[in-house]
Structure 1
Amino acid sequence: MTRVAGTGAAVLLVLGAATACSPSSDDGSSSARGDARASGGLSGTVTVFAAASLTESFTTLGERFEKANPGTGVTFSFGGSDSLAAGITSGAPADVFASASPGTMKIVSDAGDAAGTPATFVRNRLEIATLPGNPEGVSSLKDLTDAELKVVLCDREVPCGAAARTALDAGGLKLTPVSYEQDVKSALTKVGLKEADAALVYRTDVRAAGDKVEGVDFPEAAEAVNDYPITLLEDAPNAEAAEAFIAYVRSDEGQRVLADAGFLTS
């Protein structure tokens, strides 16, 4: 069954278990992979570190991958791409990394932890998330600079925060948020809990939130479209199944799931 771990805490837990979970001659993992190759099938767990904005779509893809490949399981750790990259470069055992920006993927590649060249599989753009009904009448990015509004941004080191900064720069705008959040889900939650009037998040997250928030498009978002790269990791414990999962994400069916979530797939 697909399992979803928490964000930062999950990375720490995985790091703490790295030694205990390292492949050894008597843990059965090597023979399991050999049996899978011999039978032409896949088996074992695929551990995926993925950007928080992929939570809903990747959970769906994991469930469908498992159904199509009996004997496999997919476990996810979702969070800020920078935190996930730090976990990988510190030795957290994982098979796949899906990042919300080429910059955070580069951290992993430069450390020698990416197997091959990461490939972009979708893109995403920002929207303004407001309370349902948009009670403050937000209609533009400039409206967020109103000192009366409580606005939340993602942390500058997180891809959604970097994209927000690019969009604001494109509009020649400056604002001081009431808080910087560790990932896009945390920023959106502030609006859903009415602790903020608005947040700059991805449109996929606005869509996933349903009637808890309302989305407002703005033209500057076109200047801050994020590419999402994915890669097999160098020391992947289950490389064969991991490669199959990546292929599924990039397949026509996988791309349909991502497009339905609001990602740009072309």
Structure 2
Amino acid sequence: MSSARSLRRASAAVLTTALLASLAACGDADDSARDDSPKSQGRPSARLTVLAASSLTDAFETAGAAYEKANPGTEITFSFAGSQELAAQVGQGAPADALVTADTTTMDGLKADTGTPTVIAGNRLVIAVAEGNPEKIDELGDLAGAQLKVVLAAPEVPAGRYSEQILDAQKIEVKPVSQEPNVRAVLSKVELGEADAGLVYRTDAAAAADKVDAVAIPDSQNAVARYPAATLKTSRNPEAAAAFVSWLSGPQAQKILKDAGFQQP
């Protein structure tokens, strides 16, 4: 009887040891899986919606792809529009996680809805003209010509305010044939031949270099557009939104913006 009990105890000990080893192995495997997850590496996974000024379209499409590649598990959807339209969307409670405008004035008006903004880039205006510059436009003063069809962004749009600012400073009176809701609409009018010239950001003209030419405006007669980025307080993914906004000031995003023609902040 004693020998039988000893055998049963020995068998139980062997089974217990095997079970503990198996559990330990499972635990190691689980730990390994957790270590490989984006969140464990400080990269919160989420689906983000970013409201961004229309002049950022090309650069941000590149930036978004780069961010998703570097941060598996995060998907970014951009909604591009004039900054004043974006502000209206935020005011109406549009579901979004971050906001980037083309001016600090618009962002400052949304302090109750955003986190602390950070300027991520700068820009300047140029005169967009048809390819080959058939109207021979060389400077701002030429836009006052009665025979020219000039298109500007509307005054409530950042690009429109900057345009008004530099024209007023030079005492140049321009009567636009239309005032557009965003700077990309101004560019489109010139591209389609519906306008002889329009004031757009340097980056917009560069993105359409195969369709329009850009006439530079001296810095002394120009304005600097500044692009602030901030998280939205209504974000359902505040950590992931903050991570993306922070990344925009980092070296990879700054190189993308610089390559697109934006100035460093």
Q: TM-score range by the shorter chain?
A: 0.7 to 0.9
1:177-229 C-alpha deviation (Å, 9 max, x unpaired): 00000000000000000000000000000001121100001226754111111
Q: Deviation of residue 40 (structure 1)?
A: 3.9
Structure 2: gaps spanning 5 or more residues: 1-36
Contact 1:126 1:221 in 2 (8 A): no
Flag the 1:234–1:169 CA change in 2: closer, same or farther, 3 A. Answer: same
Contact 2:38 2:71 in 1 (8 A): no
1:29-68 C-alpha deviation (Å, 9 max, x unpaired): xxxxxx9656644212111000000000011000000001
Greater Rg over alpha carbons, structure: 2
Alignment of 1:143-222 (within 5 A): 143-219=142-218, 222=221
Counterpart residue identity of residue 257, structure 1 = I
Q: CA RMSD in A?
A: 1.5
Q: Which residue of 1 aligns with 2:6?
A: none
Partner SS, residue 110 of structure 2: helix
State the TM-score, normalizing by the size of structure 2: 0.83
Query: Aligned to 2:101, which of 92, 96, 99?
Result: 99
Counterpart residue identity of residue 96, structure 1 = A
Query: Aligned to 1:70, which of 65, 69, 72?
Result: 72
Contact 2:43 2:240 in 1 (8 A): no
Flag the 1:223–1:87 CA change in 2: closer, same or farther, 3 A. Answer: same
Structure 1: gaps spanning 5 or more residues: 1-34
Contact 2:87 2:110 in 1 (8 A): yes
Flag the 1:62–1:86 CA change in 2: closer, same or farther, 3 A. Answer: same
Rounded Cα–Cα distance in structure 2 between residues aligned with 1:130 and 1:167:
18
Counterpart residue identity of residue 113, structure 1 = D
Contact 2:128 2:199 in 1 (8 A): yes
Flag the 1:38–1:211 CA change in 2: closer, same or farther, 3 A. Answer: closer
Q: Which residue of 2 aligns with 1:6?
A: none
Rounded Cα–Cα distance in structure 2 between residues aligned with 1:221 and 1:200:
16
Q: Which residue of 2 aligns with 1:12?
A: none
Counterpart residue identity of residue 214, structure 1 = D
Q: Which residue of 2 aligns with 1:87?
A: 89
Q: Which residue of 1 aligns with 2:23?
A: none
Q: How many equivalent residue pairs?
A: 229
Q: Which residue of 2 aligns with 1:23?
A: none
Q: Which residue of 2 aligns with 1:229?
A: 228
Q: Which residue of 2 aligns with 1:113?
A: 113
Counterpart residue identity of residue 55, structure 1 = T
Rounded Cα–Cα distance in structure 2 between residues aligned with 1:52 and 1:248:
20
Contact 1:125 1:222 in 2 (8 A): no
Determine what percentage of the aligned residue pairs are the same residue.
Answer: 47
